[in-house]
Amino acid sequence: MSQAVYLDYAATTPVDPRVVEVMMRHLGPEGTFANPASRSHLYGWLAEEAVEGARRQVADALNADPREIVWTSGATEADNLAIKGVVEQRGGGHVITAASEHKAVLDPCGWLERSGVSVTYLAPGPDGRIDPRAVADALREDTVLVSIMHANNETGVINDIDAIGAICREAGVLFHSDAAQTAGKLPLDVRATPVDMLSLSAHKFYGPKGMGALYVRRHPDVRLSAQIHGGGHERNMRSGTLATHQIVGMGEALALAVAERDAEQARLAELRDRLWARIAELPGVHLNGRDAPRLAGHLNVAFEGVDGEMLLTALTDVAVSTGSACTSASLEPSYVLKAMGLADDLAHGAIRLSLGRFTDEDQVDRAGQNVTEAVTRLRDAARNRA
């Protein structure tokens, strides 16, 4: 294993050892391994009981009814089910989303557009937030769905989903929010927030990869067309044998994250501020989204005169990324930062440092040192070439 400090928790998190332990009890021959849909033996009943216990854990985290939780393979599938499922059920219509959404929202929207559906992409403000009034202004007679993420994966900027949801509710339009970055980190209460669908991903809160859920409101009833057919599992919304070990892992992980949430978010905010104070000693640094409410663990920083990709290579003691795992293979500047109006050269020079449960003060100090040294070195080299 590399000794680099892991500061890419927004891309994924390791499974918490307490969660590993619960998952292990649902895998082997001595464990609760059976098909939860098997009704003819005790093995199956026990697996079903485990799955329903986890469904309650996830529902409780959202103040939802367990019948409102649909298991999926992750937030990508949950986003696809919400967006394509609503539009197909309605037989078309207009969709409103934002240019700064995750690809798991943008790509299904692009797919719908190619089949004739009209999609409006709102631009975030310079602070990274979507103005609720822009949502109101974009509503049309034929709008069937608004999809605006809770917090952005690159910048950690938090949208006002209460205000956006209220506008949608008033207009009688369904509201979906990708909450992959916020579940277990910010309070989420579907009885207080007028949101009709929420996408969750277990591996963003110390659960397993390949596991997620879509919250689907029952009152008023949200109707969705299934996107995966075969057996009618999950009240006909998502077929396929339920992955018992993954599901109990997600339930346990979310319950732990919620139980420890306030103390952990305060701890992360302190560590983040300590890291930022160190980095901010450098001249020509920009904290993207600094004027908006942001997640405690995120720092998206642009360095004048430094290329982000080169900086990533130079950062030998810290594992970070330029933003989204899906786009880090390309040399294009971040489309999220560009949508916020950041100039190309600054968007090129941005990296995301994201802290998490296993980050400590010592790691943050090492990371701060590595970043400041690497940036200084790259700038000196550029100056000498000029």
Binding site for ligand PLP (CB under 6 A): 74-76, 102, 104, 149, 153, 178, 180-181, 201, 203-204, 212
Q: Kindly tell me which of 76 and 300 has the beta carbon lying closer to ligand PLP.
A: 76
Peptide bond between residue 220 and the one before it cis (omega within 30 degrees of 0): yes
User: Which CB atom, from 48 or from 79, has the smaller least distance to ligand PLP?
Assistant: 79
Known catalytic residue at 326: yes
Q: Is the C-alpha dihedral spanning 77, 79, 81, 83 positive or negative?
A: negative
Cα gap 369→28, rounded to integer Å: 45
- Min dist CB 206 to ligand PLP, Å, is 13
What's the closest the beta carbon of residue 326 comes to ligand PLP, in angstroms? Answer: 8
Q: How far is the CB of 4 from ligand PLP (least distance, A)?
A: 21
Q: What are phi and psi of 198, to 5 degrees?
A: -135, 135
Strand pairing class (197-201; 174-178)? parallel
- Among 287, 332, 335, which residue's Cα sits nearest to residue 309? 332
Largest CA distance in the chain: 76
What are φ and ψ of residue 360, in 5° steps? -130, 180
Nearest residue to ligand PLP on Cβ basis: 74
**CB 357, min distance to ligand PLP, A:** 16
Q: Letter for the amino acid at 93?
A: G
- For ligand PLP, the closer CB: 76 or 193: 76
Cα 281 from Cα 353, distance rounded (Å): 16
Residues 6+ apart with CB under 8 A from 160: 129, 132
User: Closer CB to ligand PLP, residue 75 or residue 378?
Assistant: 75
Nearer to ligand PLP, 76 or 370 (CB): 76
Q: Catalytic: which of 326, 327, 372, 379?
A: 326
Supply the minimum distance, in Å, between the C-beta of residue 102 and ligand PLP. 4
Residues tagged active-site: 326
